[in-house]
Amino acid sequence: MAICCPPPSCLRCLRPLRGRQGTFDKIIENVRKVAHKVSITIGGNFDESSWESYPALLDFLRDQEFADTIAKINFKPIIKGASTPKGLIPLTAVGTNGQPLNGTCMTTAGAGKGSSMCDSCHFVDEKMTFLRDETRRRGFPTPDGVHMGPCEIHRKHAHTIGPDGSLYACPGFTGEKALSTGHISGRSDAWRDSNRTRFDTLDPWKDCGDCAYMPICAGGCVTASYSQLGDVNTPTCHKRSFESAIVSLAHELAGATESGV
């Protein structure tokens, strides 16, 4: 389940219906109907204009009758993707002035043209840490920020299926047909086979040296490497985020030890 933020703090719906109607109330009502049958995992994507609304969302969820069935809540940044498949409403992040942010690195949260990778990387790292802490504070399980990967793009049998049946190595490339690695029909195309070989042999971590986080990071987000840096084999470094998560994890474990858990 993926949602944005709760009314009335939601200034614009990031996941509208085809007619641009909001979807929050419908999603929540559907969750209520199935919460007694399944555990609920909630995912949310934030950008510069929406991250501040998530604590209110967490408070809203805490007050729901299905709160105790929530198995995990995880927030991630909106990554500036490539193209949008025909017929789908694009998810375009904008700044407070209503203009596209055109960010750098792994998120659209940068200041726009001319901003440095570090500007937006630090935004992502800081906000992800903040949102993890806010989630835990309300008693919801959330990833610790350390054991985050490596990304499914490095897993041989992980695929994303596009609207037209095209297969992709990562959800971030969905709709960028030139990067398709196959088709659900099983048909073989030389150009798709070439893409599959390209993704099967990715090694962006080769430039990471002896970084202790390399085994769980593997060079960062490949979609960001492609969209923002122009090369799927160029790493996007988020060492600062891992270091921050290590500190939070240590505090959490220390607290559990003190309480005898």
The predicted-structure confidence for 2-25, as pLDDT tens digits, reads as follows: 454 444 444 356 667 778 888 888
What ranges make up the beta strands (E) of the chain?
2-3, 40-46, 70-77, 160-161, 166-168, 182-183
Residue 84 pLDDT exceeds 70 = no
Most confident of 109-113, 190-194, 221-225: 190-194
pLDDT band at 134 (very low <50, low <70, confident <90, very high): very high
pTM over 0.75: no
Question: From CA 30, how far away is CA 23, in angstroms rounded?
Answer: 11
Phi, psi of 72 (to 5 degrees): -165, 145
Q: Which residues, 6+ apart, have CB-to-CB distance to 14 below 8 Å?
A: 4, 45, 50, 78, 91
According to the model, what pLDDT value does residue 122 have? 57
Query: If you count DSSP H runs as helices and E runs as strands, how many of each does the chain have, helices first?
Result: 7, 6
